[in-house]
């Protein structure tokens, strides 16, 4: 009889064991916060630009003279944009920025003497030299770009960017022409000077890339490089209503800047 009682108790314990284990609390996996890049953001930036101007000088009656010079200076401005995150590794976005610029450069061009010998009762020689001083300034610029990036880490974005660029250039020109005539009555020298300025609004293109990193909560910091090509533009300067100089400029720029962004919305999402 004791053996039967013990056997029955053992069977009951085996049946009740799994039921009791099912009633025990199950420990949930930890919640891991993940940064979500989706959302609207605004920010500020500052940096430096290394520009390059290639300008042709066309004095009527003389060969075209070309010159190259740098337009360097600081910049500061702001940006705004929107990001969409796709999965754990991809981010697509749009961004626009507007910059105050302090880029300028100066070039002096002299075409050298051009002499003409005129046959007459006596030989007459006429020599003309001309010189132009060109100062160019980039007063402001902006861009509208797409961004496509990858996330090697949830809090680090590496991206390529490209789109349209636009800006305003100011050109200031000082002209000086010296005419020297020699003949039977001696030598005569004439000097004429003039100055002119022109503003040009340009639209071009830009490509580049950068890195953005989460600092704390909605704050991110970024480093960015842009190559900008503003294309060609021309200006004609007159003296007494007569065209005396035409310039044709091709302007490119290299922009390096650091920025700080604030992202709106809840950037951290709880995931298991």
Query: Please, what are the domains in the chain?
Result: 29-106+138-169+201-271 (2.40.160)
| pLDDT above 90: percentage of residues in the chain | 54
* pLDDT for the residue numbered 248: 93
Query: What is the percentage of the chain residues whose pLDDT exceeds 70?
Result: 78
Q: CA-to-CA distance for 143 and 160, rounded, in angstroms?
A: 14
Residue 9 is predicted with a pLDDT of: 47
**What is the Cα–Cα distance from 240 to 180, expressed in whole angstroms?**
21
CA distance 143 to 114: 45
Q: What's the mean pLDDT in 25-35?
A: 60
Query: Is residue 105 a contact partner of residue 252, using CB atoms and an 8 Å limit?
Result: no
- Of residues 34 and 121, more confidence is placed in 34
Range of 25-39, 131-145, 229-243 with top mean pLDDT: 131-145
| Burial class of residue 159, CB neighbours in 10 A (0-12, 13-18, 19+) | buried
Average pLDDT score over residue span 224-242: 88
Whether 22 shows a pLDDT value over 60: the answer reads: no
The pLDDT tens digits of the residues spanning 44-71 come to: 999 999 999 999 988 777 778 888 999 9
Using a CB cutoff of 8 Å and minimum separation of 24, what contacts does 22-26 make? none
Report the pLDDT value the prediction gives residue 245, as an integer from 0 to 100.
80
Question: Which residue from 146, 136, 134, 97 is spatially nearest to 255, judged by alpha carbons?
Answer: 97
Q: How confident is the model at residue 254 (pLDDT cuts 50, 70, 90)?
A: very high
Instruction: Please compute the mean of the pLDDT values over residues 91-113 and round it to a whole number.
Output: 89
Position 58 scores a pLDDT of 84
Residue with more model confidence, 128 or 105: 105
pLDDT(90) > 90: yes
Model confidence over 184-211: pLDDT tens digits? 777 777 777 778 899 999 999 999 999 9
DSSP per-residue codes, the chain: -HHHHHHHHHHHHHHHHHHHHHTSPPPPPPPEEEE---EEEEEEEEEEEEEEEEEEEE-TTS--EEEEEEEEEEEEEEEEEEEEEETTTEEEEEEEEEEEEEEEEEEEEE---EEEEE-SSS-EEEEEEEEEEEEEEEEEEEEEEEEEEEEEETTEEEEEEEEEEEEEEEEEEEEEEEEEEEETTEEEEEEEEEEEEEEEEEEEEEEEEEEEEEEETTEEEEEEEEEEEEEEEEEEEEETTEEEEEEEEEEEEEEEEEEEEEE-S--EEEE-
Whether residue 41 has pLDDT greater than 80: yes
Query: Which pLDDT does position 60 carry in this prediction?
Result: 77
The two beta strands, 156-183 and 65-86, are unpaired
């Amino acid at each position: 009889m004791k053996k039967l009682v013990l056997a029955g108790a053992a069977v009951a314990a085996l049946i009740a064991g799994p039921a009791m284990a099912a009633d025990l609390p199950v420990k949930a996996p930890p919640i891991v916060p993940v940064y979500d890049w989706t959302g609207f953001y605004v920010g500020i930036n500052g940096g430096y630009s290394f520009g390059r101007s290639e300008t042709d000088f066309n004095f009527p009656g003389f060969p075209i003279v070309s010159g190259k010079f740098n337009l360097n200076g600081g910049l500061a401005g702001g940006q705004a944009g929107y990001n969409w995150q796709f999965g754990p590794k991809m981010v697509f976005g749009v961004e626009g920025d507007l910059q105050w610029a302090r880029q300028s450069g100066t070039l002096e061009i002299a075409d050298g003497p051009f002499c003409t010998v005129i046959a007459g009762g006596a030989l007459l020689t006429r020599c003309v030299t001309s010189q132009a001083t060109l100062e160019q300034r980039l007063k402001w610029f902006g861009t509208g770009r797409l961004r496509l990036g990858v996330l090697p880490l949830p809090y680090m974005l590496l991206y390529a960017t490209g789109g349209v660029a636009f800006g305003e250039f100011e050109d200031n020109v000082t002209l000086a022409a010296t005419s020297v005539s020699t003949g039977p009555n001696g030598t005569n020298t004439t000097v004429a000077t003039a100055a002119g300025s022109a503003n040009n609004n340009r639209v071009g293109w830009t490509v580049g890339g950068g890195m953005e990193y989460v600092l704390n909560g909605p704050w991110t910091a970024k480093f960015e490089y842009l190559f900008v090509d503003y294309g060609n533009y021309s200006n004609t300067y007159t003296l007494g209503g007569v065209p005396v100089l035409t310039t044709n400029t091709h302007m490119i720029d290299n922009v390096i800047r650091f920025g700080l962004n604030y992202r709106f919305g809840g950037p951290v999402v709880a995931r298991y």
